[in-house]
Amino acid sequence: MLKKKNLTPTYSLVQGSFWMSFCIAVCFAAVHLQSMGFSNTELGLVMAAGNVLGTVLGPVLTSLAVKHPSLDGGRLCYPLLFLRALCLAELLILPTHSLLTAFVYTIYIAVTIGVNSINLKFCVDAEQKELPLDYGIARGIGSLCFVLLSTVLGRIIESYNASVVVYAALVLILVQLLSQLLFLPKLRQEGSGKKEIHAESKEASSLLGFFRKEPRFSILLLGGVLLFFAHNSSANFMINLSENVGGNAKTMGNLTAFMAAMELPVMFLFSRFSRGKRMSVFMSLSVVAFLLKSLAIGLAPNIPLLFAANSLQAPSFAIFSCAVVPYISQVIDPANAAKAQSLAFSITTLGAVLSSLVAGRLYDICSVQTTLLIAAAVCAVGTVICLFGIRKTEISK
């Protein structure tokens, strides 16, 4: 019997290239659009619309891939990468502040986010084929790449101007294309002759049917939207937080990188320290940590304490990101696993939608601290809902 090849290295490249692209499209959106004359409110509308479209696009792509096996990841991802390149090319020639610019950037965010649903399906496919793939390590590589890009890009923007964001994004499209070309042949080759699940249950053929079938998971998703509202109220407006405590774009880049760096130990070691423990415990721990982080950020009066508050990124976002994948495998039937993974990622984008609309407006009419404390109050409600929705799982092997 041939030894199965470890897909973690090439899947890590897939994750790394995606999270660098996400960093530019979402986390640096405020810097780029504000430099083009957009207000916080306008920025919020663009990001909200982009996240809504991306949230809808993700499950649609996953459903297509599940129902039509011939539409594998490559055939779905490559057109999205081309569309992103087209959007970026148009951003280089469009007027700085216009309705068309806002529309193009909206589409750019949506297609950037949509790719990740296919990336998550790759992970589900590998698990169903019993192929070696450590999601925690791959996701950790994604955060490491996020750290490096955020640090470098923040310094470059401070030295030059925000237009470098577009050129960096174009380069990353090529990196994402390369990662898909390296990973997909291995996934296809290793899967030959293996039993795969392509058909979803009849009830779960629609989102409404899925929600009816999985009420506790649906409650968890609802609470998660509120958690990520609070998370994105700070993460997507990091330039506002940095300037509020006396920093600048360089501070923002360092802070964003610091947050990602806090995730790395958890993501690289999660599969080891979680062995023999219940995933539901880690899920509960992470949602409580989201609340503590939100409160700490809202109360931070200076740059050092703002960095300290964001060190809680490790027990909150990092553990949630690693635990939710095996948690879903344990509580959701395999036929619906890909859809559940896509929906789990979608709560981050729905939270970004709410924060873009609400927090974007609040930053224009309220102080930064007031906005962050309102977000913390919403996070408290989300924490309670999530704790109610988390189901007790079996001990992980």
Indicate yes or no: pTM above 0.75: no
Q: Which of 194, 188, 202 is nearest to 336 (CA)?
A: 202
Q: What is the pLDDT of residues 312-336, one digit of tens each?
A: 999 999 999 889 888 887 888 777 7
Q: What is the pLDDT of residues 115-159, one digit of tens each?
A: 888 888 787 777 777 778 888 888 888 878 887 887 788 778 777
Tokens of 182: 């390296």
Mapping DSSP onto H, E and C, the string for 27-84 reads HCHHHHHHHCCCCHHHHHHHHHHHHHHHHHHHHHHHHHHHHCCCCCHHHHHHHHHHHH
Residue bearing tokens 């470890």: 6
Compute the average pLDDT of residues 230-242.
Answer: 87
Residue 189 pLDDT:
65
Residues 6+ positions from 196 with CB-CB distance below 8 Å: 69, 125, 128, 129
Q: What is the pLDDT of residues 16-65, one digit of tens each?
A: 999 999 888 887 887 778 888 888 778 878 888 887 888 788 777 777 77
Give the Cα separation of 16 and 18 in Å (integer): 5
In CATH, the number for domain 8-192+201-389 is 1.20.1250.20
Question: For the chain, how far is it from start to end, CA to CA, in angstroms?
Answer: 24
